[in-house]
Amino acid sequence: WSLEEGYIYIPALRKYFLEGLEPPFDIHEVAALIAPRAFLNISSYYDRAYGNQEFLADVGIQLYRVYKLYREERQFSWFMHGNDHSFPQYARALAYEWLDTFLKER
C-alpha cells in the first residue's frame, strides 16, 4: 500500500512501514465497513510487488464472520490463488460471474 516506487495508495501509512511499525488499523476492520453489501476479493498468496500475502487468508476468515453476523454470507466472496500479481483466466471467469450475479440488473 505504500511502496518505494509506483503508486502509493495510502501515503500516510509510509511512516509506519518505513519504521517497521504495524499500521494503526487492521485490514479486516476497514474492509468490514463494506458489509453487508456484496464483496469480492481476488488475491495471490505471494505477490512480487507486495511479498508474502498469506495473511490475507486470515483476513478473509475474519471478514466472513462479519458477513455471518449480518446473515449475508452469500454476499461475501474471497478467492486466493498462487499466480503472483496476476489476473488469470479462471480468476477473471470468477469475477465476471460475480459481477453478473451481484451488479447486473435483474
Query: What single DSSP character describes residue 84?
Result: S
Statement: residue 76 has pLDDT above 90? yes
The confidence score (pLDDT) of residue 15 equals: 82
- Beta carbons within 10 angstroms of residue 45's beta carbon: 15
Per-residue model confidence as pLDDT tens digits over 35-48: 999 999 998 887 76
SS3 35: coil
Extents of the domains making up the chain: 25-102
The confidence score (pLDDT) of residue 7 equals: 63
pTM: 0.78
Statement: residue 96 has pLDDT above 80? yes
76 versus 18: which is more confidently predicted? 76
- What is the Cα–Cα distance from 7 to 69, expressed in whole angstroms? 35
